[in-house]
Structure 1
Amino acid sequence: MAWLARLEREHDNLRVAMRWLLEEGETDTAVRLAWALWLFWRVHGYQGEGYRYTGETLEAGDALSTVVRAKALCVRGLMSYGIESIEGTERLWEQSAALFRQTKDTFGLALTMGGLSAMALAQGDLDRSTALFEETMDLYRKIENRWGVGSVLSHQGVIPLSRGEHERAARYFEEALAISR
């Protein structure tokens, strides 16, 4: 993706901007930047950086609005793979999901629920993962988010695959591929 390459070229400038925002107490804007950069950080291997930045934003505590706190918790959860314990990541997403429900932010809730679904899948809790992915799918379909639908379908395919249901898994993967093209 061209925009990811551009962000990589501008990465040092983005770091300077984030550092300045945090030092100046512009926490809301720092969270907005983190929310915009989470996929870049994840795809390009900067999860530790995103994790640190969101940790600094969360230090503002009650000064953060509900929606800003929800986004900071969500991004921290997305960045926490391999850094936090599974329980720590789940806590971040559960807190984020509760706040996104309050603010009726469907995309944020879907992103967070997708994380909880993937965690359940990684832990081998296929029944919980299935239920969470179904809720996540409903949310992404509600807002007509093709990327989210494709992502959920690809994860849902892992469940029947792990049960030896190869044909059923293939249907999920094929649908995910068709949507993602």
Structure 2
Amino acid sequence: MALRLGGALRSFWVVHGHISEGRHFLERALAASQGIEASVLAKALSVTAYLAFIQSDHERTEPLGKQSLALYRELEDQPGIAFALSLLGSVAWTKGDMLAARTLTEEALALARQVDDVDRTAYSLFILGLLSSSQGEYTRACALYQESLAIHRAAGNKRGIAHTLSQLAQVLFVSQSDQAQVIPLLEECLTLSREVGFKEGIAAYYCVSGQLAFGRGDLVTARSQAEKSVVLYREIGHRHGTAKSLSVLGKVFATEGDYAAAQTYYEQSLAISAELNEKWVSAVYLVELGEAVAALGQLAWAAQLWGASEALRDAVGIPIPLAELADYEHAVSAARVHLGGRAFAAAWAQGRSMTPEQALAARGQNPAPTATKTVTSPTTYPAGLTAREVEVLRLLAGGMTDIQIATKLILSPRTIHAHISSIYSKLGITSRSAATRYAIEHNLA
């Protein structure tokens, strides 16, 4: 009886932010369950997994999701299979396993469409939007979110509408495209979230609004909105969102010149990401922390942090967000000039061999390599270039355009642009001719 009730209460717990209450109820019921009907058990497991995912408890989400998937497959419950697959795809995304995330979620989407399950279809499209956005595929992400949004609107799912609106606003802001739509999207998200009591939607509104205010230089509003977001995310146990909002506060304090406070906020974000094993998310916060410590004059440490971030981003294909690219390039360029090219490249290379935790602890020093933790690169390239950047540089030096390189490497033009910008920054150049000359002189062409 308890498990049946728990399965039915999922929407109530999620909408009103009673995530911990729901998890505790279901975990107790699951522990006491014996001889329960398979369909009831499968649903209870999937709901518990979903609540655990909202709280970023991926270590619990994954086994619960796999158990529910196994039961749903035995029952030949296609909507249930689709839900479990999309949930496991979400976990793979947070862990940086982008191939597994896409494979699982696309399978979930195909199943959901096959059985005309509009809720699962919209959710799978939403997850694919998250995946595409994180990899810099902003146009595709927008299309996926808009398709998900249209389904939610047709079904009258106000929570789904609000949730998708917040992410669509986020990707439009990050990609610096169609900025006029961001505020209307956020306002509708807030209205609907308040109407149905959807705390996560309200927290997301504050978080994105804080970023938007920061972008236009309104630091007072940015700080206020980010602080509200932190409070709400913490209230519902949403650690991923908490880390993101703390990083927004870090940006505010850094811009105000309080780099020590900014460093503290970024380190808190990194600590949360480390707990969640969200390494690709850590890469984002390493970049931001690097900018803060560079402003404090700790240039070697900044280069190490940026190097560690680059190694993570290069491994999973995560570019610097367009909204942050200019600040990043400026900080890297200035640090290289003040530290000196040779010392900067050495520190950067050290960072590339470190885990996020090692880079955070290094503080500009060169720690002894640890065989069990150090990630070594099979080949070292000049100026701290990555293997992917050397590949792009070779094609560029061969006369290819950005579009041709993107086609050749099966990447988006935006990703290629980000790689070329990084190459220019590392080499201290500003033109394709200079990049070609460098490639030839260093036998990279």
1:172 aligned residue (135, 144, 165)? 144
1:81-130 C-alpha deviation (Å, 9 max, x unpaired): 36684222100110111011111122222222221111111222111110
State the Cα RMSD in Å. Answer: 1.8
Amino acid at match of 1:150: A
Aligned to 1:151: 123
Distance in 1, matches of 2:57 and 2:151, equals 33
Distance in 2, matches of 1:130 and 1:82, equals 19
Which SS does the other structure have where 2:53 is aligned? coil
Aligned to 2:262: none
What TM-score do you get using the length of structure 2 for normalisation? 0.33
2:18 aligned residue (41, 46, 49)? 46
Amino acid at match of 2:114: K
2:106 aligned residue (134, 141, 144)? 134
Distance in 2, matches of 1:168 and 1:111, equals 22
Runs of 4+ in 1 over 6 A off after TM superposition: none
1:46-103 C-alpha deviation (Å, 9 max, x unpaired): 1111111111221234322222221221121112236684222100110111011111
Which SS does the other structure have where 1:81 is aligned? helix
Task: Tell me whether 1:103 sits opposite 2:70 in the alignment.
Answer: no
Task: Tell me whether 1:88 sits opposite 2:22 in the alignment.
Answer: no
Distance in 2, matches of 1:84 and 1:118, equals 10
Moved more, 127-136 or 160-169: 160-169
Aligned to 1:19: none
CA drift at 1:41 = 0.4
Aligned to 2:214: none
Aligned to 2:4: 32
Task: Tell me whether 1:125 sits opposite 2:97 in the alignment.
Answer: yes
Distance in 1, matches of 2:120 and 2:64, equals 20
In structure 1, stretches of 5+ residues that fail to align are 1-28
In structure 2, stretches of 5+ residues that fail to align are 154-445
Q: Which structure would you say has the larger Rg?
A: 2
Distance 1:84 1:133, change over 3 A: closer
Amino acid at match of 1:100: Y
Amino acid at match of 2:98: L
2:72/2:80 contact within 8 Å kept: yes
Task: Tell me whether 1:58 sits opposite 2:30 in the alignment.
Answer: yes
What TM-score do you get using the length of structure 1 for normalisation? 0.77
Moved more, 163-172 or 129-138: 163-172
Amino acid at match of 1:178: A
Distance 1:143 1:171, change over 3 A: same
Aligned to 1:12: none
Aligned to 1:17: none
Amino acid at match of 1:127: L
Distance 1:101 1:154, change over 3 A: same
Distance in 2, matches of 1:107 and 1:57, equals 23
Aligned to 2:132: 160
1:129-169 C-alpha deviation (Å, 9 max, x unpaired): 10011111022112211222112112211222222222222
2:3/2:30 contact within 8 Å kept: no
Aligned to 1:116: 88
Amino acid at match of 1:117: G
2:86/2:127 contact within 8 Å kept: no
Amino acid at match of 1:81: F
Moved more, 56-65 or 99-108: 56-65
Distance 1:123 1:65, change over 3 A: same
